[in-house]
Amino acid sequence: MARRQKGDLIHGWVNLDKPLGMTSTQAIGKIRSILKGSKAGHAGTLDPLATGILPIALGEATKTIPYIQDSIKTYEFIVTWGEQRDTDDMEGDIIATSDHRPSERAIQDILPEFMGHIQQTPPQFSAIKIAGQRAYDLARAGEDVELKSREVFIKSLKLISTDKDIASLEMTCGKGTYVRSLARDMAEKLGTKGYVSTLRRIKVGPFTTQNTISLDILANMDYIAARREALLPVHTALDDIPALAVTAEETARLRNGQELEFITRQDFARLEKAGLAGTKNKAALASYKDDIIAIIEVDKYKVSPVRVFNLEKK
């Protein structure tokens, strides 16, 4: 007999403002405990020394996690000059120093070199797997970790302010970009050493600082009030993909994992209205009246279910 999961099966997203010193896994545990939810996951790990937006999915919202993981993200961070640390943040040991401090002009001049599609080598202390083991576990065990560089995308990189030993910056980037690596590489380019001393994530796709909530606030509520205050709809993660209205009969077929064929003039008009006419392997959201039914893939006239939602009515 299967063991029953602890907590209720609730569905939605929590846009958590993760506090300093907490791992992303610990944050999920706190949210599950406060909201009494049985199933949860997060979209985009934040290091313990980072704060800010950590989108946490509960129940059926976990099916939309990949769409948030691939989203554009924005960070505010401070680079401290003069030291290099083995973790590339303030947690690590000092492994090199420099007396040189870059000028504001010098920092501004190199920023374009770190924008667009660039090659970046992840930090040794990262969650990347090497032969089945996490790089940070190997590094903590004293092993030499060699990580290959890879292409990442940095949409924008702005210098906010400078002081003698620090620079404050803001970066908007794609999936897999490491702020710690950026700080390390910028310092090398500027002829000095540097590490990330403060890091805050302020945007992940549709999740922004305007609708975040803190653990401190939630902890002072009962679970019913916490759910009412914190839970965002499952489709929050899908706001930027097209939506296709389906009929009751089509809803039943999609829920049974069956493919649809849109071949009539009326069908084509619906695809055209949703901006899906003639598209190939295009992700969209199928909805019936006010209910979301499934994430679908549209390939010309064929509509296939990719993730079907089972949202229980409360």
Spatial distance between the Cα atoms of 281 and 96, rounded to a whole number of angstroms: 49
Pick the CATH number of 73-199 from 2.60.40.10, 3.50.50.100, 3.40.50.720, 3.30.2350.10: 3.30.2350.10
Confidence (pLDDT) at 5: 59
Superfamily of domain 241-308: PUA domain (2.30.130.10)
Average pLDDT, the chain: 90
**pLDDT tens digits along 253-311:** 999 999 999 999 999 999 999 999 888 989 999 999 989 999 999 998 999 999 999 98
141 — pLDDT class (breaks 50, 70, 90): low
Class of domain 12-71+206-237: alpha beta
Tokens of 59: 């129940």
In the chain, pLDDT over 90 holds for what percent of residues? 76
Asked if domains 73-199 and 241-308 share a fold, the reply is no
pTM beyond 0.85: the answer is yes
314, pLDDT greater than 90: no
Q: Which one has a higher pLDDT value, 311 or 14?
A: 14
Spatial distance between the Cα atoms of 274 and 244, rounded to a whole number of angstroms: 6
Give me the residue spans of the domains in the chain.
Answer: 12-71+206-237, 73-199, 241-308
Tokens of 40: 């949860």
Cα 245 to its chain centre, rounded Å, is 28
**pLDDT tens digits along 126-140:** 566 655 656 555 556
Residues annotated as catalytic (active site), given as ranges: 47
**pLDDT tens digits along 142-162:** 566 666 789 999 999 999 999
Q: How many CB atoms lie within 10 A of CB 312?
A: 10
Whether residue 41 contacts residue 233, with contact meaning beta carbons closer than 8 Å, is answered with no
